[in-house]
Amino acid sequence: MPTSFLVFVVASLALLVVPGPAVMYIVARSIDQGRSAGIVSALGLMAGSFILVAAAAFGVAALLAASPVAFDVVRYGGAAYLAYLGIRTALTKPVATGETHAAREPLGRVFAEGIVVNLLNPKTALFFFAFLPQFVNPEGNIRLQIVLLGLTFSTMGMVTDSIYATVAGAIAMKARTGDRLPRIRRVAVATTYIALSILALLVHPTK
């Protein structure tokens, strides 16, 4: 069991350090509103992962994988929400104050958005369903093992996501290059959200 857990940690770390949709979301938020918002977004994603871990332990992920209708409801809902974030960002006019970051959203809202983004990502639920069981000992408490492995993965994800948020926030802080920056940043962030929306539509249970 200790050897299996070590392999799980190494495999999870390899998956987490490669930039994916979650990292794109966090980087976009960090560039848009700063490092603190990026880290809070990462906390929201982690909270969403905790909910998905519990769902996986009780078989909801299995239902999602088995039911094309349920999967599509989540997939289209997630894509629509990400598209909404992109359109809202694109239509928000830069604040003419010379500051690096856009008008700040309350961190509570940023946290809640992180949870929603993760819960509406069917690929995350399927990951917990398809990946975690490979490291579960069928002779032990399966539900407890899934929870422990899921919490481990989510916590590791929070650490790696925070690093991306810190780096992206630092780069945004230094990029004080004139009046065009707010517009460029807004377009980049909006494009990222819309790209994530498209990626959500491309997810299929068999992939």
Across all residues in the chain, what is the average pLDDT? 76
Is residue 131 assigned to a domain?
yes
Is residue 102 assigned to a domain?
yes
Neighbours of 64 (CB within 10 A): 22
pLDDT at 128 > cutoff 70: yes
Is residue 27 assigned to a domain?
yes
pLDDT at 43: 94
pLDDT at 47: 93
Is residue 67 assigned to a domain?
yes
Q: List alpha helices for the chain, DSSP H.
A: 2-17, 21-33, 35-57, 60-66, 68-91, 107-119, 122-130, 142-174, 180-202
Q: How many angstroms separate the CA atoms of 130 and 39, rounded? A: 27
Computed on alpha carbons and rounded to an integer, the radius of gyration of the chain in Å comes to 18
pLDDT digits (tens, 9 = 90+) for 44-103: 999 999 988 888 777 755 665 566 776 677 667 767 877 887 787 777 765 544 444 455
Is residue 13 assigned to a domain?
no
Is residue 175 assigned to a domain?
yes
Is residue 124 assigned to a domain?
yes
Is residue 83 assigned to a domain?
yes
Number of independent structural domains in the chain: 1
Q: How many angstroms separate the CA atoms of 159 and 117, rounded? A: 18
Domain that residue 162 falls in:
20-202
- At a CB cut-off of 8 Å and minimum separation 6, what does 54 contact? 147
Q: How many angstroms separate the CA atoms of 192 and 205, rounded? A: 23
